[in-house]
Chains A and B, each alone.
Chain A
Amino acid sequence: MEFKRRDFLKIAGLTFLGLMAKPGWEVVSQIKPLEPSPAPNYFTGKKWAMAIDLIKCWNAKDGCRDCIDACHTIHNVPEIGYAKEEIKWIWTIEYEKAFPEHIHDFNEKKYKGKPVIVLCNQCEDPPCVKYCPTRATWKREDGIVMMDFHRCIGCRYCMAGCPYGSRSFNWRDPRPFIKKANIEFPTRTKGVVEKCNFCEERLVKGLLPSCVETCKEKALIFGDLNDPNSEIRKILSERYVLQRQPELGTKPKVFYIL
């Protein structure tokens, strides 16, 4: 049989069409472009802060650790049991160490050795953020100094920068030291710095930070500084308030009421 040039062209054309069918269909039947995910409204216009009523806190039973335990349990903070490698998000130090400028010979009796709850101050001008070379830590619009554990390379510059010692470094794999893991929050890995995040994962659900929620004495007050009617604004304007080392200009957002 003679194979004509016309026949060849016809078959070639049909073959080409056949081959185009599948990719062509894929283009036409493509998934609709995604609508942007809804943006959160809690994020802007807020300025989270905490006030700690020391008098109420000291009214609690001796050695009360409710807030510390609550925080450390939900955030999978390990208990290494060795001071040098200790990991802490919220802990206590003595009054004279927290406020060295407020202790003198005459109030020593009253205040010396009293426990003061300390945590990350969520500074308005955080030195740790300036030092971080990988931008693993940054200040969010609502004032929370966040950590991206994925991004942290463990250089510990932020720890050197933080005047409050609020950051801890994982010198070893923390997992064997976690008693009961909480699946809602990741653990950390060796070589990562961690600190208090003001429970941002709870704030997004409309919950208060776990330390505030668990305190039976209601010594911790949490709220929005941008809202003039908030509890924290009222307390800050009425009561005598201390900040830790305000002279450093970091503008801490954790306030102490005396």
Chain B
Amino acid sequence: MRFYDAKKIITGLIIFVGLVTYPIWHNTVSGKNLYTPKLELPKDKKECIEPKDYIRVNHKSLLEDWRLSVVRNGIRIYQASNQKKYNMSLNKTCMECHKDKTKFCDQCHNYMGVTNKCWDCHIYPKQLEIGVK
């Protein structure tokens, strides 16, 4: 069997693979691959309302449940797994500790390319300082 035009095909393939994998090696060279989201955790508080692992996976459904519960059923008290009670409020409960969403929520959301619409309406404490615009 003969391989016709081997030189051209192989150089073509190398160029093709190079172009396709450009994002990967570009990020490796520029060090972006090593980037991890930097979350600013509240300094004065030790624990979240639920264990960290649970919150990491379920914060979205938790917030959705809270919304349903407060808006539809008028129930505003959340009983956490450690029997502590919390006010079901994004503005007040969550953002009381994580005052600036750009240093907490956005870190992972931007990293993962996830968008949410919470902040179209809800206000976070830091936003009051810089002005709700």
Nearest Cβ on chain B to A72's Cβ, whole angstroms: 15
Interface segment among A5-13, A30-38, A108-116: the answer is: A30-38
Q: Is the CB of B121 within 8 A of A176?
A: no
Looking across the interface, which residue of chain A has its beta carbon closest to that of B83?
Answer: A35
Looking across the interface, which residue of chain B has its beta carbon closest to that of A200?
Answer: B74
24 CB < 8 A contacts A-B: A31-B54, A31-B81, A32-B81, A34-B81, A37-B75, A38-B77, A148-B72, A150-B67, A175-B132, A175-B133, A181-B123, A181-B127, A181-B128, A183-B91, A184-B91, A186-B122, A186-B123, A187-B121, A187-B122, A187-B123, A187-B132, A188-B121, A204-B74, A204-B76
Q: Is the CB of B72 within 8 A of A183?
A: no
Count class of interface residues, chain A: 20 to 34
Chain B residues within 8 Å of A178, by CB? 132
Q: Does chain A have a CB within 8 A of B92?
A: yes
Other A-B pairs, 19, CB within 8 Å; known A178-B132, A184-B92, A188-B121: A31-B51, A34-B81, A35-B79, A38-B75, A38-B77, A40-B74, A42-B74, A140-B74, A148-B71, A150-B67, A150-B71, A183-B92, A183-B123, A186-B91, A186-B122, A187-B132, A189-B117, A189-B121, A204-B76
List residues of A (193-223) whose CB comes within 8 Å of B's CBs.
Answer: 200, 204
Q: Does chain A have a CB within 8 A of B120?
A: yes
Q: Does chain A have a CB within 8 A of B107?
A: no
Q: Does chain A have a CB within 8 A of B78?
A: yes
Chain A residues within 8 Å of B125, by CB? 183
Chain B residues within 8 Å of A140, by CB? 74
Q: How many residues of B contact A (CB 8 A)?
A: 26
Chain B residues within 8 Å of A164, by CB? none
Q: Does chain B have a CB within 8 A of A1?
A: no
Q: Does chain B have a CB within 8 A of A248?
A: no
Known A175-B132, A175-B133; contact A149-B121, beta-carbon cutoff 8 A: yes
Give the distance in Å from the alpha carbon of A178 to the alpha carbon of B132 in the complex: 8
Q: Is the CB of A37 within 8 A of B77?
A: yes
Q: Is the CB of A39 within 8 A of B75?
A: yes
User: What 8 pairs across the A-B complex have the smallest Cβ distances?
Assistant: A189-B120, A181-B132, A186-B121, A31-B81, A186-B122, A148-B71, A37-B79, A43-B74
Q: Which of B51, B54, B72, B74: most chain A CB closer than 10 A?
A: B74
Nearest Cβ on chain A to B66's Cβ, whole angstroms: 10
Nearest Cβ on chain A to B79's Cβ, whole angstroms: 5
Chain A residues within 8 Å of B91, by CB? 183-184, 186
Nearest Cβ on chain A to B24's Cβ, whole angstroms: 32
Q: Is the CB of A146 within 8 A of B71?
A: yes
Give the distance in Å from the alpha carbon of A178 to the alpha carbon of B127 in the complex: 13
Give the distance in Å from the alpha carbon of A8 to the alpha carbon of B20 in the complex: 46
What is the 8 Å Cβ interface bit string for chain B, positions 49-68, against chain A (1 contact, 0 not)? 00100100000000000010
Nearest Cβ on chain A to B91's Cβ, whole angstroms: 6
Q: Is the CB of A183 within 8 A of B75?
A: no
Nearest Cβ on chain B to A239's Cβ, whole angstroms: 31
Give the distance in Å from the alpha carbon of A43 to the alpha carbon of B76 in the complex: 12
List residues of B (17-70) whose CB comes within 8 Å of A's CBs.
Answer: 51, 54, 67, 69
Looking across the interface, which residue of chain B has its beta carbon closest to that of A179?
Answer: B132
Nearest Cβ on chain B to A20's Cβ, whole angstroms: 20
Chain B residues within 8 Å of A200, by CB? 74
Give the distance in Å from the alpha carbon of A186 to the alpha carbon of B125 in the complex: 12
Give the distance in Å from the alpha carbon of A149 to the alpha carbon of B71 in the complex: 9
